Amino acid sequence: MAGDDDIFESLRLELRRGTLILAVLGQLRVERYGYTLRKALAEVGIEIDEGALYPMLRRLESQGLLISEWREEEKRNKRFYRLSPLGTETLARLIVEWRALNRSLDGILEA
């Protein structure tokens, strides 16, 4: 039987999973490559496994939310990502949704 800590950890991961896309889209309002994106997220307290981050970036790009470009930096080719116009529009809608959800949850949790 799973211990209390295991249950908490699994619920915590589930809770965070849905918010990661929002965090990634939010960070890519500024152009970044994968490694710096991950570091930027870590600096604000959002740890993301690179095994999940890179496939997510590709999926978001294939959905038209991101644009990527290969460029040389620090003597190495790097793939830079940024929001596409559709990504910018989608992020704005997601932010509205997130804030509304947050308000609702605050109402429940602070009652």
Partner 1 sequence: MDLLERYLGAIARQLPEDQKADVTAELRDLLLSQVEEAEAGLGRAQTREELEALLIRFGHPLTVAGRYRKVQHLIGPEVFPFWWAGVKLSVLIVVGLYAVLLAVELLGGRAEIVMDDSAIPSLTAALVFAFGAVTLVCALIERFGKTAMLTNWKPGELPPPEGRTRSRFDIIAEIATGAVFILWWTGVVHFRNFIPDLGLTIDLAPVWKVWFWPILGYSVFELGANLLALLRPGRVRTVEALLLVRSLVAAAILTAIFQAGHWLDVSSLTWTPEAQQVAGEKFDRGMRIGIGVAILIFLGMAGVSGWRLRAAILSARPVGKALAA
Interacting residues toward partner 1 by CB under 8 A: 33-35, 50-52, 54-55, 58, 70, 76-79
Q: Cα dihedral sign for 19, 55, 85, 25?
A: positive
Shorter beta-carbon distance to partner 1: residue 50 or 97? 50
Shorter beta-carbon distance to partner 1: residue 4 or 72? 72
Total residue length of the chain: 111
| Whole-angstrom distance, CA of residue 21 vs CA of residue 59 | 11
| Whole-angstrom distance, CA of residue 41 vs CA of residue 48 | 8
Shorter beta-carbon distance to partner 1: residue 76 or 93? 76
Burial of 51 (0-12, 13-18, 19+ CB in 10 A): exposed
Minimum CB separation of residue 9 from partner 1 in Å reads: 18
| Whole-angstrom distance, CA of residue 35 vs CA of residue 111 | 41
